[in-house]
Amino acid sequence: MMASIDYEAVSQVLIVFEFKAKGKDSQYQAIDEAIRSYKFIRNSCLRYWMDNKKVGKYDLNKYCKVLAKQYPFANKLNSQARQSAAECSWSAISRFYDNCKRKVPGKKGFPKFKKHARSVEYKTSGWKLSENRKAITFTDKNNIGRLKLKGTYDLHFSLGARSQAPAGGAGSHRYQLKDLKRVRIVRRADGYYVQFCISVDLKVETEPTGKAIGLDVGIKYFLADSSGNTIENPQFYRKAEKKLNRANRRKSKKYIRGAKPQSKNYHRARCQYARKHLRVSRQRKEYAKRIAYCVIHSNDVVAYEDLNIKGMVKNRHLAKSISDVAWSIFRHWLEYFAIKYGKLTIPVAPHNTSQNCSNCGNKVPKSLSTRTHICHHCGYSEDRDVNAAKNILKKALSTVGQTGSLKLGEIEPLLVLEQSCTRKFDL
């Protein structure tokens, strides 16, 4: 994210409200059929792009009509849902084009066919909310029908409007149907969920704190800041690993090679194993979200390392620990809360932040096993991660106001939040 951001321009964003969907087994089967149709259209559009030259986004949307006429099961899906599948395919294609234009090192991310799909997305048609907004009815030919919505979010009132509404006048601040841009049905290990992508004015006014902080994320500590504070790494996966392995062995024992379909006992064990992994994933995300929220509320400027996490997890000795600490999730929530509350986040290049002395600036080489920074030039001694956090803050403050100085960490904040549906920020 660049050092200078016009927050007024990015306050209108999309957020995601998620509800548990309650229905009958026949409705769940209809949802599965819709998901398979959605995946088929997405893969067919990708094949059409591969087989034909100069195919654009609108060509894929037109191709959806051809698929609907050719395949009866594709015609059952709502027309805008078919277009959404084509847009999903084009998103992967355009990302590949952008990587090629920018000459990204390594693989450019050539689009791949989806083997396992878990969601189907509708736009503004094919569904209808009930009057009390506690149920939703899907009206296409898949016969999903009416699903009850269970959750804590209120689809009637916006976050900003609720806090500013006068007493007794909150009813005038309802979400309008035009604010609901997308509706997605997601299948998870513990059931089905309905997500609503809502366009809202996210800007929230807060009192400035006058503080700036540098953050260094790690494996020993979840993070260390430039003030000398550290937060322990909860290691949710490591703590649950014994139970996960036991559930995995139980699943494997019930698997019969060559059997199609597998037994009900196998699928029951598979779902139990998946639910345990889902619980760990939710714990990790909720913890990162809480820490990011506290950091943003306590500071006006937050600096952090622009790490190449995708490359770092290729280290087979550290991959499990890096994945468990959830650096990417923490960064995404940090950027989201910064835009929401009008704060500034600055990613800086990670080169030598752990090696340089934050007191005198000289380089002090050290291995990963050395956890204490001791400078042989000035005698300064500090925890390795705290020393790195101070260096990160110095780098960030030296670039504030210099346009184009953050080449490694430049992110379009509006793009990040407008793609929140695709990246599935669950608020």
Contact 325, 369 (CB under 8 A): no
Return d(Cα 19, Cα 72) in angstroms, integer: 30
pLDDT of residue 179: 81
CA distances from 44 to 89, 128, 261, 280, 382 (A): 9, 28, 26, 35, 57
Of 421, 426, 427, the residue nearest 122 (C-alpha): 421
pLDDT of residue 289: 94
Return d(Cα 33, Cα 219) in angstroms, integer: 42
Of 249, 240, 322, the residue nearest 278 (C-alpha): 240
> What DSSP assignment string belongs to 315-327?
-TTTHHHHHHHTH
pLDDT of residue 174: 56
What number of helices (H) and strands (E) belong to the chain? 13, 14
Domain ranges of the chain: 7-201, 212-233+288-423
Return d(Cα 6, Cα 73) in angstroms, integer: 47
What residues in the chain have per-residue pLDDT under 70? 1-12, 157-175, 400-427
Q: What's the length of the chain?
A: 427
Of 88, 371, 388, 33, the residue nearest 220 (C-alpha): 371
Please name the residue ranges forming H helices in 254-307: 264-298
Q: What is the pLDDT of residues 205-228, one digit of tens each?
A: 888 888 999 999 989 899 999 888
Three-state DSSP string of 64-131: HHHHHHHCHHHHHCCHHHHHHHHHHHHHHHHHHHHHHHCCCCCCCCCCCCCCCCCEEEECCCCEEECC
377: tokens are 């030039």
pLDDT of residue 157: 61
**234 cis-preceded (ω within 30 degrees of 0):** no
pLDDT of residue 417: 41
